[in-house]
Amino acid sequence: MKEIDTNIDGFKLRFAEEKDTRLILDFIKELALYENLLDEVVATEDILRQSLFVKKAAEVVIGEYHKEPVGFALFFHNFSTFLGRPGLYLEDLYIKPEMRNKGFGKIMLSFLAKLAIDRNCGRLEWWCLDWNEPSIKFYKKLGAVPMDEWTTFRVTGDELYSLAEKFYQ
C-alpha cells in the first residue's frame, strides 16, 4: 500500500484496498447520518467489495492522520461529450467531524484535481446538498462554481424498473 505524502504533517493519502471495505462502509454510514439519509444506505460490505474491487466501478482514497483513518473520497470517471474527454466525478467526500478545519478536505480535493489532470480529464465535479452551507462556502472558497442552471434528475427503485420495461413496449 503506497502512501502519498501531503503538506500537512502526519496526514497521508492512500488508495483503498479490498481490506478497507468495512472502513469504507463505516464512512458511508457516518456521512449518511450527517446528511440525515442513513435510512437510504443499502450498501453492504459484499456490495461494496464487488463494486469497488471486482468490477472497479469506482475508486476510493483514504485520508489518514498519524496512521488513523479520518476521511475518504469515493470517485469515478464520467465523460463529457462537449469536451470529448473523461472527467472525475466525486460521489462522496467525508472527513470525521472532529478532524474538520485542519485542511484535510482541501488536500483531498487538491489530490483529486491533480489526479484528474494526470488522467487527462477535463473536469472534476460533485454535488452538494442545498442546505449544507459550510460545505458550499468551502467549495466556493476553492474556486468551485455551483451549476445552478442545471437540474439533477434521478430514476431509482421501482421507477427504474418501470422505465426499463418501456424498452420492450
Q: Which residues are tagged catalytic?
A: 139
Q: Which of 27, 33, 97, 29 is nearest to 61 (CA)?
A: 27
Handedness of CA 153, 91, 32, 127 (dihedral sign): negative
* CA–CA distance, 68 with 62 (Å, rounded to integer): 10
Report the b/e string of 11-21 with b at 16+ CB within 10 A.
bbbbebeeebb
Amino acid of residue 80: S
Q: Which three cell numbers stand for residue 164?
A: 426499463
* CA–CA distance, 139 with 145 (Å, rounded to integer): 8
